[in-house]
Structure 1
Amino acid sequence: MTQAPPDLDETDERIVWELTRDGRLSNKELAERIGVAPSTCLARVRALRESGVLRSFHASPDWDALGLPIQAIVAVRLKAQARAQIRSYAQRVVTLPNVLNVFFLGGADDFFIHVACASTSQLRDFVATELSMDDSVASTQTNIVFDHLSGMEHMAESGSWRDVRAAIPSVGPSRVR
């Protein structure tokens, strides 16, 4: 059962917003950005962590610099009779060394598995041996990632979580240019 989200006030939301944009902010810098005392900021961050709103803080590595220049999103579809193993399959896959993320899906595919590899041959071998050969897998489709743009890096242009939650106005076929 999903836990109801905690009631967040504007200060809490601003803390989460700023830390999402830059998880390396010191408590002093964060307090200055949101306009509260450092002691208040520290107490708020602690409460947000304890409530589960802030789960962790992450580095964003340069995969090329780590010798893993090939990224892919592998779509995985399980066999119909393997639906009972969907969670155990995901729990096994998420522990594999090349796996960055596992996304459970609704739709034709059951998972998107985001991987980083040293070469296309390592990617091929990984998909063939670690993903496709599992008895519960019906099919895989590998999509090479050419580039990745993070929305988090552009959050200053949005402004707040309220802006993110706001209804998107209907303005025609596409707002993207």
Structure 2
Amino acid sequence: MPNNDLSEADNAYTLDGIDLKILAALQKNGRLTNVELAREVGLSPSPCLRRVRMLEENGTIRQYVAILDPVRLGLAMSVFVRVWLKGQDEDTVQCFIRHVNALSQVVECHLMAGDCDFLLRVVAADLTAYRRFQAEYLARIPSVSSLKTDIPMQAVKVSWELPLGTGQ
């Protein structure tokens, strides 16, 4: 997977309207064939494929994934965990990051500015499973000072599509 850090060379490629149409179409359906994608964005297949490959090579398209239904997989609960560390020095932060990266139940981890140090999204089968995960794993990370769990009552909007300014 390409590095998320952008260098000056990465910034040299400017996205045009066709690139944005390609990205919008692939965000909606990453399984489009090149022929279907080309038709949708108004290109012939060869130039469309060249553009997609460029978008992949420059890191604009980072990867292709299948979005799974957590309920069907027995992971119906999603919670948000605010984490406070014992300190903000680099060793403490890196210790926490190493531990969290090893935990598959943590599906998002964000370093925060503001009240807490990190915000996590954790998936679990139910509240009992989450509580066990919190006690056995999160609370035992050496750099953790405090945890606060927020339990959402209903997911109103969940999207992986980024707004591209294409009017879609």
Give me the identity figure in percent. Answer: 32
Asked if 1:161 corresponds to 2:165, the answer is yes
Instruction: Tell me, yes or no, if the aligned pair for 1:132 and 1:140 is still in contact at 8 Å.
Output: yes
Instruction: Tell me, yes or no, if the aligned pair for 2:76 and 2:123 is still in contact at 8 Å.
Output: yes
Q: What pairs with 1:94-173 in structure 2 (closer than 5 Å)?
A: 94-148=101-155, 149-152=157-160, 160-161=164-165
Structure ranking higher in helix proportion = 1
Secondary structure of the residue aligned to 2:149 is strand
Letter in 2 for 1:30: L
Instruction: Tell me, yes or no, if the aligned pair for 2:81 and 2:148 is still in contact at 8 Å.
Output: yes
Separation of aligned partners in 2, 1:109 and 1:70: 22
Q: Deviations over 1:21-66 (max 9, x none)?
A: 2222222221111111111111111111111110011221111100
Unaligned runs of 5+ in 2: none
By how many angstroms is 1:82 displaced?
5.0
Q: What pairs with 1:1-177 in structure 2 (closer than 5 Å)?
A: 2-4=6-8, 5=11, 6-80=13-87, 82-148=89-155, 149-152=157-160, 160-161=164-165
Secondary structure of the residue aligned to 1:77 is strand
Letter in 1 for 2:53: R
Query: Aligned Cα RMSD in Å?
Result: 2.3
By how many angstroms is 1:68 displaced?
1.0
- TM-score (norm. length: structure 1): 0.79
Separation of aligned partners in 2, 1:72 and 1:45: 36
Letter in 2 for 1:150: V
Query: Alignment length, in residue pairs?
Result: 160
After superposing the two structures, state which structure 1 stretch, 55-64 or 138-147, moved more. 138-147
Unaligned runs of 5+ in 1: 165-177
Separation of aligned partners in 1, 2:41 and 2:95: 42
- TM-score (norm. length: structure 2): 0.83
Separation of aligned partners in 1, 2:85 and 2:23: 36
